[in-house]
Amino acid sequence: METTQVHKQLSTAIKFLSDPRSSINSLIVHGPRGGQGKSSGVVKALRESNSKVDYEIFKGRLTAASFFEFIEKHATASLNSELRKIIVLDDCTGILSSSIALNFLKVMTEKDGNGNSSKVSYSAKGGEIKSFSAENIGVIIITNNIDPKNSEWESTRDRAIFIEWDLSNPSLIKIMESMAESSEFFPSLSIDVKKEVLSFIKKFADSPLLSLRIFQKACNAKLILSKEEYEAFIRSMLGDNKTTKRNEYLLELQDKRGMKEEEKCLTYMQKFGCCRKSYWNHKKQLFGLLGKKAA
């Protein structure tokens, strides 16, 4: 999926959920890989939203009991606010691995045939039964990498707006290019140095381990380690196989501007023992990942 497409979906979903007339009160942003910008994408969409919203982000471990107490506290605060309240549960895997917590989520997100919210109840410490209307909760946004295979999660997912956040490597590289140009991202490194780091990461453009966090770690390593150490560090995170070596060599040849294309092709063929067709196929594949044309 392309970056602009998923961001547009997210912005539209938040605009819809923020409206008091919306009968849906939950959004699930799921991606099979971490480090693709789900959390920052949600925050960005909330900040840029033209709707009047008041959001709170929760990261970390929540048990079923602490989750319910957190939601109850949020619901009470919502009663005294004129803004549409939004809770963002960011990678709270403890909730998704608990059948009790998932049951809470299912009840919080369900409506009856008339669009009325359910009443949520639980047994507090000491056996006291506490309850409140799910109507007071506002909106729940969940970002996660796991997909629990159980009926409670399926019911919650069915009631929510669901966005699959699975960016392609070329899309991730485009985001990294924007990050490298930003003075707010690793301000202790110059833009040229950040581009140098990215240039090395591009040699691993087809790695299934590529992520925005890798770029962050690589920039951090650039501050601390020697060139040899930092390159070995990146290799250890993204893998170092035959394809990577071919990618590195193709990019090295590309930088040799005084070298004719036929000479580059012959040099590549000799190094890897392949034919002319293989050279062009490898180059087309790599440049496709980097968003370039194989001239």
219 pLDDT band, cuts 50/70/90, is very high
Query: Domain boundaries in the chain?
Result: 3-164, 169-289
140 pLDDT band, cuts 50/70/90, is confident
What pLDDT score does 271 carry? 82
| Report field, pTM of the whole predicted structure over 0.75 | no
Q: In what side-by-side order are the strands of the sheet with 84-90?
A: 53-59, 84-90, 139-144, 26-30, 161-164
Residue range 154-173: average pLDDT? 88
37 pLDDT band, cuts 50/70/90, is confident
CATH class of 3-164: alpha beta
**For tokens 């895997």, what's the residue?**
93
Residues 71-77: contacts with CB within 8 Å, 24+ apart?
71/104, 71/108, 71/120, 71/137, 72/130, 72/132, 74/137, 74/138, 75/132, 75/133, 75/136, 75/137, 75/138, 76/132, 76/136
Q: Is the pLDDT of residue 208 over 70?
A: yes
* Beta strands 161-164; 119-123: pairing state: unpaired
Structure tokens at 96: 């998704």
How far is residue 212's CA from residue 153's CA, in Å, rounded to a whole number? Answer: 28
